Amino acid sequence: MTSLWQVGRADPEPAIDDLVLTSRQVRQVQLTIGAVEPGRLLEPVLFARNGDRAARAAESPILSSFQAAQEAVLAWHEELSPGTLRRDRIQAGSLGLELQLDGVRLELAVRLRQSLHPNQMRDELGGMYGVGLRAADRGYQLVGQVADGSPRARLGKDIWAAMQASNMVRTLNRLLVANLPDARLDS
């Protein structure tokens, strides 16, 4: 949906439009992860031999969709020039997109580990899943604020909150791997 602010701009920014499309792609993966049974996420990986885990993971529509979303985020970043990256709106959008992807990565990691270790860390995994969900939602909202032209002061406050959430999500991802290691996922 195009806001009035976007219609009235004299100098449209294609980077913002691409950012919104990439964010929607990540959002679709997140919705799919939340809707599917955890065992279906992991099925191709469970049947993989040591050498072909990546090939078998590509057979999973969800894991391959997540990989494609991750590659879209990297492609968006690669298209930006150093000058463009210094713009407040682009910085905020970039941070929002990264937070969204990190949150979805945590959600996916939790769902996979829930199916591998159903009797371990049940409460902790549920809490981590919630943190990933909130982080992904916060990142998606930040990208939406950038697209709608939120004032610089508002973005500054949200950027700070997103940076804190991003650090927490990355720490939880590392803790998850350290506390529930699994050769099928961590190699």
Q: For each of the chain's 187 residues, which pLDDT tens digit applies?
A: 445 344 434 344 678 899 999 999 999 999 988 888 877 777 776 666 666 766 777 777 788 888 889 999 888 888 887 777 667 788 889 999 999 999 999 998 888 888 778 888 888 888 999 999 999 999 999 999 999 988 877 888 888 889 999 999 999 999 888 887 777 666 5
Identify the pLDDT of residue 26.
94
What is the CA angle 136-140-144, rounded to 5? 170
> What tokens does 133 get?
């969900």
Identify the pLDDT of residue 8.
37
Q: What 3 state SS string does the chain have?
A: CCCHHHHHCCCCCHHHHHHHHHHHHHHHHHHHHHHCCHHHHHHHHHCCCHHHHHHHHCCCHHHHHHHHHHHHHHHHHHHCCHHHHCCHHHHHHHHHHHHHHHHHHHHHHHHHHHHHCCCCCHHHHHHHHHHHHHHHHHHHHHHHHHHHCCCHHHHHHHHHHHHHHHHHHHHHHHHHHHHCCCHHHHC
The amino acid at residue 172 is L
CB neighbour list of residue 161: distance below 8 Å, 6 or more residues apart = 138
Identify the pLDDT of residue 35.
87
Largest CA distance in the chain: 57
Q: Are 99 and 168 in contact (CB under 8 A)?
A: no
Predicted structure pTM score? 0.82
Identify the pLDDT of residue 182.
76
